[in-house]
Amino acid sequence: MEIPEILLQKIAEAEHVAILTGAGVSAESGIKTFRDPDGLWAQLNPAELASVEGFMANPQLVWSWYRHRVEVINDAKPNPGHYAIAKMQDMFPKFTLITQNVDRLHHRAGSRKVIELHGNIVENHCFDCKSPFTGDTALPDGHLPVCPICGGRIRPSVVWFGEMLPVDAIEAAEEAAYSCDVFFSVGTSAEVYPAANLPVTAKRNGAFVVEVNPNFTVLSGYVDAKLAAPSGEALPVLLDEFGKYKKFIEESL
């Protein structure tokens, strides 16, 4: 895979690199994406499984799906794309990692600070009093976890459709998009807002915007560079080429 020289130059000069990731970065870990032909939303109904209305209507169904997803995620391992992103956190004066993923694989790959726009699937809290819940949620089907403080319903700490994103997370993500020099959109269809606005904000504010995605997205015609390959292949190659480029520049000074 060819890495455009302009991209190597831009990241060599960058004071602040920001990365937005989506489900595609975890695809090579065996976790299904949402909107690909074999993705979750091709078979399942997001209104039933990922909305407050769906949870209220059938909490048993929602819990059995989340329990299944937690099992899949617990069995999965970070892939070379996650590890390359973790390496990048120490390569630039400033670095921001923003994810739409709830799987915590960035943390497990060693990323120290991750802005989680859509929450995470490993924590739970009370729907009513919002207290964190650390008890067992792996109850037999038909049994629902209950808040020991107020008796309310326990829910996964993810953001569902129609819900607000955590304010601190979206503010920090927007600030990074405004101020970064290079912005990577990795493994996302860029179809879900407000996350999908971040690459646009970055570009409007002068950042060099790069897409890493084997497929065409709504963003593909808009970006300054595209690495059309799976992130687990493209990002390690990028880091490798960047290392060679920096060495060459240093030696020619």
Q: Which active-site residues does the annotation give?
A: 118
145 binds ligand OAD (CB under 6 A): no
Q: Is 49 in the site for ligand OAD (CB under 6 A)?
A: no
* Residue 241 contacts residue 215 (beta carbons within 8 Å): no
CA dihedral 128, 66, 30, 134 (to 10 degrees): 60
Judged by beta carbon, residue 24 or residue 199, the one nearer ligand OAD is 24
**Is position 159 an interface residue for ligand OAD (rule: CB under 6 A)?**
yes
Q: Please, what is the minimum distance in Å from the beta carbon of residue 196 to ligand OAD?
A: 8
Residue 239 carries which side chain, given as an amino acid letter?
Answer: L
Q: Is 199 in the site for ligand OAD (CB under 6 A)?
A: no
Is the CB of residue 199 less than 8 Å from the CB of residue 209?
yes
Query: Of the listed pieces 55-63, 141-149, 177-185, 187-195, which binds ligand OAD according to CB under 6 A?
Result: 187-195
In three-state form (DSSP H/G/I as H, E/B as E, the rest C), the secondary structure along 202-222 is HHHCCCEEEEECCCCCCCCCC
- Dihedral Cα 43, 46, 49, 52, nearest 10 deg: -170
Q: Which of 18, 20, 50, 86 binds ligand OAD (CB under 6 A)?
A: 50
Q: Tell me how far apart the alpha carbons of residues 111 and 213 are, in angstroms, rounded to a whole number.
A: 21
Q: Which residue is nearest to ligand OAD (CB)?
A: 24
* In 1-156, alpha helices (H): 5-13, 40-43, 46-49, 52-57, 59-75, 80-88, 105-109
Ranges within 106-125 binding ligand OAD (CB under 6 A): 118
Determine the interface stretch with ligand OAD among 62-70, 84-92, 125-133, 214-222 (rule: CB under 6 A). Answer: 214-222
Q: Does 156 help bind ligand OAD (rule: CB under 6 A)?
A: no
**Out of 92, 120, 231, 239, the residue judged to bind ligand OAD by CB under 6 A:** 231
Task: Select from 24, 78, 80, 199 the one that contacts ligand OAD (CB under 6 A).
Answer: 24
Residues that bind ligand OAD (CB under 6 A): 22-24, 27-28, 33-36, 39, 46, 50, 100, 118, 159, 161, 187-189, 191-192, 212-215, 217, 230-232
